[in-house]
Amino acid sequence: MTTLHDIHKHEFGSDNYAGVHPEVLTALAEANGGHQVAYGRDAYTERLGAVIASHFGAQAQAFPVFNGTGANVLALQSMVPRWGAVICAETAHIATDENGAPERVGGLKLLTIPTPDGKLTPELIDREAWGWGDEHRAQPGVVSVTQTTELGTAYSLDELRAVADHAHELGMAVHLDGARLANAAAHLGVSLRALTTDVGIDVVSLGGTKNGLMFGELVVVLDPARSTGLTYMRKVNMQLASKMRFISAQFVTLLEGDLWLRSAQHANAMATRLRDAVVDIDGVRVTQSTDANAVFAALPAGAADRIREHAQFYDWDRATGEVRWMCSFDTTPADVDGFAQAVRAVLSS
């Protein structure tokens, strides 16, 4: 088939815009020969179990799924009963960008809390952590945190530990939406285990697509006592892949060596380069800490649409002029510098 797009054009809308990392494409091709038993009884999914244990601990169990929304819904479903509720930040992906899937498909109630930086704290959790035993109120059963947050900020280890300890003291479990967990680990210079198992996280939705995979995410259960029924709910929710070896082979390639870290470090570095290139431009106000691969900035009215003539990106809050610029594993310094020049040209004209 003839290529239908300009392979040299780079966008800043999402790390989902990027293609597949060459090493992952190679792994898919190598996994493609011959026959393997379907539905996860293959050599690649078996290897994935060992790789996940090496990162998260011997108790960790991995459940490959098709996408991030499926991972989040399945994880949360397995952690709360039908009458349960999930406490999360108002900006959390499960509350803003999953079209009500946790409520519609998962049958959950989301209790959202406004935060200035996308992070929950014990004090903020207490705003919704109440009403146990009241049959008129959905029962808070899980605290869900996002790492990195939807605002591009990263929880420190101490911040995560404080949230997990507080939730557990209140009898709740802790879910981590880790679509960009690799970027957080790269930013903090710590292991995946340090960000999850060691701080008391119970279940993780581990992202791969935003870090160079073609498709696929994982639900990683760290505390089996906090999660039940995933084996069956994955099928009920249409997230059980028959040719699971192709999801598993990608994650083995991503996680068995340091590809996950190299790709995340590069994406983060490109975001830092972009922030540094635009922060002194008149009319640009960086609105959030650039902890990973996202830059949030406020622009003058009308500027965003003119800059989008150079590259695509999303408005975050049209009322305030806030936008989001995302970098990925394949963003180059030249991409960043060219985009920054476009921003400068628009705002100086």
pLDDT tens across 186-196, in order? Answer: 999 999 999 99
Side-chain-side CA neighbours of 119 within 13 Å: the count stands at 22
Is 1's pLDDT higher than 80?
Answer: no
Q: What pLDDT does 230 receive? A: 96
Q: Which CATH architecture has domain 31-256?
A: 3-Layer(aba) Sandwich (3.40)
Is 349's pLDDT higher than 90?
Answer: no
65 with 234: CB under 8 angstroms?
yes
Q: What pLDDT does 256 receive? A: 97
Is 177's pLDDT higher than 80?
Answer: yes
- Side-by-side strand order, sheet with 314-317: 285-286, 294-298, 322-326, 314-317
* pTM tops 0.85: yes
Residues facing 146 on adjacent strands: 177
Q: What is the mean pLDDT of residues 308-332?
A: 97
Q: Sorting pLDDT into bands at 50, 70 and 90, what band is 243? A: very high
Is 250's pLDDT higher than 80?
Answer: yes
Output DSSP code: residue 189.
T
Considering the chain, what percentage of its residues have pLDDT values greater than 70?
100
Residues 16-33: tens digit of each pLDDT:
999 999 999 999 999 999
Domain ranges of the chain: 31-256, 259-348
CA 310 to centroid of chain Cα atoms: 27
Residues 133-151: tens digit of each pLDDT:
999 999 999 999 999 999 9
Work out the mean pLDDT of the chain and round it to a whole number.
97
CATH number corresponding to 259-348: 3.90.1150.10
